Structure formats: C-alpha cells, structure tokens
Amino acid sequence: MTEVLSVVGARPQFIKAAPVSRALAKSGLSEFLVHTGQHYDPQMSEVFFSELGLRAPDLNLGVGSGLHGAQAAAMLTGMERAILDQKPNWVLVYGDTNSTLAGALAAAKLNVPVAHVEAGLRSFNRGMPEEINRVVTDAVSSLLFVPSETAHQNLRREGVPEERIHWTGDVMYDAMLLFGETLPQRPGILERLQVNGAPFVLATIHRAETTDDLARLQSVMQGLRVIAKQMRVIVPLHPRTRARLQQMPTFDTRPVEIIEPVGFLDMIRLEKAAAVIATDSGGVQKEAFFHQVPCVTLREETEWKELITLGWNRLASPLDFGQIASTILSALGTKGRAAAPYGSGNASERIAATLAAEATGRATPRNDILLRQSLVS
C-alpha cells in the first residue's frame, strides 16, 4: 500500500516536489507520484524532471489544457481512479492550481486525508481562480503545511484548529538551496543570451487573469516596451501568453526580447543576474527575494504580503502601463530589509517528519511553534 500519493501538474509543483520527494524517501515513506498533465509542453514539464532529478511520474493523467471546469473534471476522474488503486494513507498536494484542487477533492470524497503544502496563502481576491483553489483545498485538508507566519495567521483567523496547522517554512527555499549549488558548473543561458553584466529586467507573464484579458496583457506588454527603450527586457514566454499575443497581430512587442520558456536552472541564472524582476507569478516573487533582487508584481494584490512589508516587492496595476514602467524604474538598485520569513531551508524534512509521525501513530512534533517565532522576529 502506498503511504503518500503526491500530485503535481505545473512547473512550480515540479520544483516543490523535488526536495520533498527526497525527504520522503529518506524518511522511509513510499510515494506514488501522479502528474496530471496540466503542463505538458516539454519546456514546461519534462525539462524540470530531468534538471531536478525528479523521478518520472508513476502515472501521467495527460489531461492537458482547457477550460477550468473541463480540465478539473478530467483531473478529478483520473485522481479518483488513482487513489482507489493505490489506497494511500495521505494525498499530498502543492500550491494552488487546478491539479491541487482536483487531488484534494478526489481524496476528500474518498475519505483519504489530504496534506497541503503551501497552505494558508490568501490574496483576498476571489476573482482569481488560484484563490478559490487555495481556500477549497485548505478547507478539506487535514494537515496544513504553512510556509510563513502570515499564512499561519490567515488560517487562524478563518478558525482552523491549531492542531491541523504545521509551520514548516517554504519548500521553494529548500529547492533554491539544493539546486543553486549546481549553477557555477555551467554558464548556461547567460552565455547564450550574451548577458555581460549590463542591467536588465527579467519579466514573466502567465496567469490567466492577465493573459485572458487582452487589455491587461496589452498594458503589461506596453509597460515593458517603455522600459525596453531604456534597458534590456527579457521575457521567457509561457505558451499561454504566446497564444494570446498572437491574437493581437497588430501589437508589436519590440524592443522587448521574447525567448522560449527556460528550465529551472536557467531561470535561477537569469533571476540572480537581473536588476529587477517583473512578474505576475507567486513563485517568482519569492525566487526574487531568495536571490535578493527587487521585484515588481504585475497585479493589484499578492499572497506574499510579507515581501511588500519588507520592501523587496511592490505592486503595479496591470491596467496602467505608465505605473508599470515607473515602478520598475523606481525598483532599480533598491534593497529590502533582511529577514527569514520562510524558514532556514529544511521545510521538506519537516513535512516528511510530520507525515512519518502520522503514519506510525506517533505524536506529531510541535517544535515548529518555537522555531516559527524565532525566525520571524
């Protein structure tokens, strides 16, 4: 019988799962890895498995893209079948995608306990599909692994019992520490793009709320075009964003430098070398912080509010290209306050230890409370 059935489907989940899978194996827990197929392009999926040393999924549902309802329904059907076949003790889900929601709902309806990595995040914008996924997944989860004290307090305000909440720190930080060590071995993309030390802006655009609204997408690209007339702007383009831009044949993206999606290691290289990172991605906001690079979030709000408070991140309305340009320029050369809101790089081990304790019926360690207090002070 499988002890942990893990669900992944999108780029950020592959990254998060890599250190957690290693920690589960070290803890002696058996894992069955399900890939929903939400990200299926080789540059958004296969490259991450190979770079991160993540073993091939035990099952790929091959769902692909589609409308939210159709995609989630196909995932739910496949996940239900996998859970019935494997009979896991726990279903482990990551983040806030449709894959997260499908895994959590399938498990909950079959009375299999759910453990949610990156629980408690809130943008407080119910217009975001990701926010709905977060709220519903947290509601049906038995173990809530929170990456920050802000996330912990969000759950407490919602009345979640303390025994369900486990402060672990952020598994993305684990991944940065784990895989960042391999970067000096090869120059990678910096050499190919002839990044020679001159300042540049790295931008990523992929969220449905941006790409599905052509006015927003055009405004974001216009803001980047303004900056690109003054300094280099590099955009690894998500397939969804490329498809939407092709629907605007009269809109010229030049002089913005559009490149193909990049793997995790090359993305780290670009992030570390950038003068400013502009993004609508939740994960990239944190990656910028880990590399101590100022970030501009191309949204009205963020689920990573502590980065705004610390001064490493700032918001720019995606509907105001002038504000986007001015905010990026104002971020150049800035630094935020030193802090460790996401732990010390052992979140994966804490998750594995909690699941192992649950599997053996031992009392779950609660020293996370003291550790959390010491790191956020």
Distance CA 69, CA 71 (A): 6
State phi, psi for 355 to the nearest 5 degrees.
-65, -40
Residue 257: partners with Cβ closer than 8 Å, 6 or more residues away: 228, 232, 233, 234, 235
Q: Which of 68, 206, 238, 291 is catalytic?
A: 206
Q: Which of 120, 151, 115, 127 lies closest to 17 in space, CA to CA?
A: 115
HSE of 238, CA atoms in CB hemisphere, 13 A? 19
Rounded Cα–Cα distance for residues 183 and 193 (Å): 16
Task: Say if CB 120 and CB 23 are below 8 A apart.
Answer: no
CA distances from 130 to 98, 121, 170, 213, 319 (A): 8, 10, 18, 16, 20
One-letter amino acid at 307 equals: L
Q: Does the annotation count 206 as an active-site position? A: yes
Q: 198: closest CA among 274, 259, 271?
A: 274
Rounded CA Rg of the chain: 20
Q: Is residue 156 a contact partner of residue 369, using CB atoms and an 8 Å limit?
A: no
Q: Which residues are catalytic?
A: 206
